[in-house]
Structure 1
Amino acid sequence: MPTMPKSVFWSRIDTAGSDHALFDDRRGLSARGVGLSVDPLPYTCRYELVTDETWSPTRLEVSVEGAGWLRTLRLERAAGQWRASTAEQGDLAAALRAIGRPDAGLPGTEDPDQFGDAIDVDLGNAPLFNTLPVRRLGLLDAEPGTAYRLTVVWVQVPSLVVIPAEQVYTALGSGRVRFASEGFTADLQLDANGYVEHYPGLAERREPAAR
């Protein structure tokens, strides 16, 4: 497994948890990361993401594991079409029922054609994925008010259910981009390379303490 020259670390601010992503962004993005969360039940989410040189995703592999269950998902885009393959061990639905939460649904999708010409993929609770449309569309350098409405392949966590989602990204200037989807809106603060520093309601970037 190749080493990665860069990394970012986020602390969750909506629940106890974190996300640590290692990546190489010299020619598009190659990344792998680990997310930890206590809600809706304790789980570890591991992911690997590959894009082409335009920052358009070509492959995403995700595994989510908790006590007594494990789900995996592989998404690949070829010839403009997404394909998904999944596997499950144990019973996430039973684990959720045991704590009074509703069934999360089956991983993956039964109809990959519903994504149409969607380019971007979004993994729940993982701030790294907001960088993909920001870099692909050049939003950091765009005129404030420039907006793009996108259909993205949204991977829910921890279920790994895959559904289409409508998202709007709007350039605000000064390293800020407004993200909106399904009635939710957040003004993301980004660094000079388009990586999230502050995601209101979700995560805050952390840096090593000065020595």
Structure 2
Amino acid sequence: MPKSLFWTRTDTTGAEHATLDDRSGLTAQGTILAVDPVAFTCRYRLAAEPDGSTGRLEVEVEGAGWRRSVRLERATDRWRVTTGEEGDLDRALRAAGHPPAGLPGTDDPDRLADAVDVDLGGSPLFNSLPIRRLGLERAAGQAEHRVTVAWVLVPSLVVVPAEQTYTSLGPGRVRFASDGFTAELDVDPEGWVVRYPGLAELAVQR
């Protein structure tokens, strides 16, 4: 992998390290570490097509006494979702004072049919996918784009469709909005998120 990106979390104790190759489409693998809502390690592998659309995402999350996995693969006009689960994440969440997580994946993959991008919760890398696909990192005006994503919640790995809006604010600035939440993201000339207020900041890029 010719590129390496490392973010530090600003919302909790944690970090994300991704290595990637974007010479033809995008191939990436990464690790996320965080302590909220429970301490966990998340590993993912991502493949995007040359047009920027996501083709496959594999995610594994584990903590003390539990492990979960989900794989999303786009096949023609629908998503195929495969999950795995060991141990008891809900027990760990209850011990930390949080509500149960629910089952990983989705009971109705057809709800994801309109999704072109995938968003992995807590990862600034995945906000870069629609930004780069739409060329917003270099757009001059306030061009607004609404997208549907397959949102993978972490650490539960529940998958739900989500509507998101990305608005170019000029080179290097993009406004992100979803379900009443708004953040102005700083991006580099290649479209990678370097600062996501309240979530993460890029510490190393090579």
TM-score, scaled to structure 2: 0.97
Residues 69-109 of structure 1, C-alpha deviations (whole Å, 9 max, x = no match): 00000000010211100000100011111121100110000
* Matched residue SS, 2:183: strand
Match of residue 53, structure 2, among 37, 49, 56: 56
- Pair 1:123-2:120 in alignment: yes
Match of residue 97, structure 1, among 94, 97, 101: 94
Superposed, 1:72-151 pairs within 5 Å as 72-151=69-148
Match of residue 154, structure 1, among 148, 151, 155: 151
CA-based RMSD = 0.9
Superposed, 1:160-175 pairs within 5 Å as 160-175=157-172
* Matched residue SS, 2:106: coil
Residues 97-145 of structure 1, C-alpha deviations (whole Å, 9 max, x = no match): 1121100110000001012221010000111111111111111232321
- Pair 1:67-2:67 in alignment: no
Kindly provide the amino acid, as one letter, of the partner of residue 7 in structure 2: W
* CA–CA separation in structure 2 for the residues paired with 1:105 and 1:164: 16
Give 1:56 deviation, angstroms. Answer: 0.6
Identity %: 61
Paired residue for 1:14? 11
Kindly provide the amino acid, as one letter, of the partner of residue 66 in structure 1: G
Match of residue 182, structure 2, among 185, 191, 198: 185
Kindly provide the amino acid, as one letter, of the partner of residue 53 in structure 2: S
Paired residue for 2:33? 36
Hey, which bits of structure 1, 4+ residues long, moved more than 4 A?
none
* CA–CA separation in structure 1 for the residues paired with 2:72 and 2:159: 9
Residues 138-184 of structure 1, C-alpha deviations (whole Å, 9 max, x = no match): 11232321011111100000000000111000000131110000111
Greater relative CO (CA pairs within 8 A, separation 6+): 2
TM-score, scaled to structure 1: 0.95
**Stretches of structure 1 lacking an aligned partner (at least 5 in a row):** none
Give 1:55 deviation, angstroms. Answer: 1.2
